[in-house]
């Protein structure tokens, strides 16, 4: 299991980790219940406040925990724990305690009661900003109120889902085209 | 410039190409105007109908073309044309004809008047399904009504944006964990 040292990260810059499209783990807590779900359908909506749209199917145990607590943590796992990520997506919090079952460490956040997953590369503490599309589309808009990101490595090897049990692992190749950008577009 | 041979692709399976989180090109047409924009903020919302949420900033020339025509094409470019993708994101359709300026080939679709970009790996013809969040968040929900995907290669080398002029190129490493999935979860 990876153990990361993390530091505070500016919330207006979390697109760095979310926009490339990784699978994330969403942790939540309500009353005496805690859960984790695997999520692939999310997008950035705004830099500041840092808004993220997420699709959380109403069939998930996490749906009610998040809707009722109006909080969650979005955690970014890396390929080291990819099998665990898949298992989390194929079990239900109604039946098992996923932190215990998968040997993950819940860590207290500073702004929300939902636990951070210590073994993930980054943890974004979120509060619910807009549930206007929750009923019709299962879409929640969260505001990231606090971000914790590992100090090393600089770029995480993230997991990207193609469906049908198949995953792309983020490439180590990075291209920089700053020179092609207009001022203000970076 | 890559030239792809394409065939029809089932719209309920487009998550295969969108969920990993690539930068896409959105082409649009309204009256005598045609445009292309680069877009990084999008997510799958439903398999069937195939719904995609997209954030299109109201400052973009494409915003009005798409809102008024209620159509667009979402095109998936590969690393071969990455520099062109960046240039498209750093110029305005108010000033130049991007198809002409960047030597791209507009191809007629079957369901929408917006042109397909022939040099892209995949083209998804879209109609506007919900503009309820267009004013507040610049978010549009599109339904993919027709999908065209290259017959080869099987997996495109897509471009994923990290911000600050920096891009991740999708890895060639693919992991399959079908055995870890519950029936019905694939």
pLDDT over 70 for what percent of chain A? Answer: 100
A171 contacts B177? CB cut-off 8 A: no
pLDDT band at A185, cuts 50/70/90?
A: confident
pLDDT band at B173, cuts 50/70/90?
A: confident
Closest Cβ opposite residue A43 in set B41, B170, B173: B41
B90 contacts A182? CB cut-off 8 A: yes
A53 contacts B139? CB cut-off 8 A: yes
User: What is the secondary structure of B101-126 as a DSSP string?
Assistant: HTT--EE--SS-SSPEETTSSEEEEE
pLDDT value for B184: 83
The whole-angstrom separation of Cα A62 and Cα A114 is 11
Residue of B14, B16, B41 to mutate, testing the A interface (most A Cβ within 10 Å of its Cβ): B41
B167 contacts A13? CB cut-off 8 A: no
CA nearest to A141 within chain B? B137
Q: Are A26 and A37 in contact (CB under 8 A)?
A: yes
Interface ipTM: 0.96
Residues in chain B: 186
Q: Report whether pLDDT(A58) > 90.
A: yes
pLDDT band at A1, cuts 50/70/90?
A: confident
Q: What is the pLDDT of residues B77-126, one digit of tens each?
A: 999 999 999 999 999 999 999 999 999 999 999 999 999 999 999 999 99
pLDDT value for B1: 85
Q: What is the pLDDT of residues B144-163, one digit of tens each?
A: 999 999 999 999 999 999 99
Q: What is the pLDDT of residues B42-83, one digit of tens each?
A: 999 999 999 999 999 999 999 999 999 999 999 999 999 999
Closest CA of chain A from B168, distance in Å: 5
CA nearest to A156 within chain B? B168
Contact partners, residue A58, CB within 8 Å, separation at least 6 = A138
∠ CA A15-A17-A20 to the nearest 5 degrees?
85
Closest CA to B3 of B113, B102, B105: B105
CA nearest to A186 within chain B? B164
Contact partners, residue A47, CB within 8 Å, separation at least 6 = A12, A13, A15
């Amino acid at each position: 299991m990876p153990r990361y040292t993390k530091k505070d990260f500016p919330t207006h810059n979390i697109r760095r980790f979310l926009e490339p499209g990784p699978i994330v783990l969403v942790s939540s807590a309500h009353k005496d219940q805690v859960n984790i779900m695997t999520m692939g359908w999310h997008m950035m909506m705004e830099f500041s406040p840092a808004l993220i749209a997420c699709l959380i199917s109403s069939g998930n145990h996490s749906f009610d925990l998040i809707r009722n607590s109006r909080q969650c943590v979005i955690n970014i796992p890396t390929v080291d724990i990819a099998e665990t990520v898949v298992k989390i997506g194929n079990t239900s919090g109604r039946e098992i305690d996923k932190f215990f079952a998968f040997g993950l460490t819940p860590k207290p956040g500073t702004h929300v009661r939902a636990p951070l997953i210590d073994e993930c590369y980054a943890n974004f503490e979120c509060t619910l900003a807009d549930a206007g599309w929750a009923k019709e589309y299962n879409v929640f808009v969260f505001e990231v109120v606090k971000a914790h990101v590992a100090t090393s490595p600089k770029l995480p090897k993230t997991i990207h889902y193609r469906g049908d049990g198949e995953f792309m692992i983020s490439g180590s190749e990075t291209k920089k085209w700053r020179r092609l950008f207009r001022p203000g577009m970076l």
